[in-house]
Amino acid sequence: MSAYLIAQISITDRTAYSAYEDGFMEIFQRFKGKMLAVDEKPDVLEGEWPCTRTVLVEFPSKEEALAWYRSDDYQALAQHRFSASDGNTVMVNGFNAA
What are the tens digits of pLDDT across the range 24-71? 999 999 999 999 999 999 999 999 999 999 999 999 999 999 999 999
Instruction: Quote the CA–CA distance of 10 and 35 in Å, as a whole number.
Output: 19
CATH code assigned to 3-93 = 3.30.70.100
User: 60-98 pLDDT, tens per residue?
Assistant: 999 999 999 999 999 999 999 999 999 999 999 998 876
Average confidence (pLDDT) over 12-29 = 96
- Given a contact cutoff of 8 angstroms between Cβ atoms, the answer to whether 39 and 54 are in contact is yes
More confident residue, 18 or 98: 18
pLDDT at position 96 is 80
- Classify burial at 22, counting beta carbons within 10 Å of its beta carbon; exposed 0-12, middle 13-18, buried 19 or more: exposed
For residue 2, what is the DSSP state?
Answer: -
pLDDT at position 55 is 97
49 SS3 class: coil
How big is the chain by its Cα radius of gyration, in Å?
Answer: 14
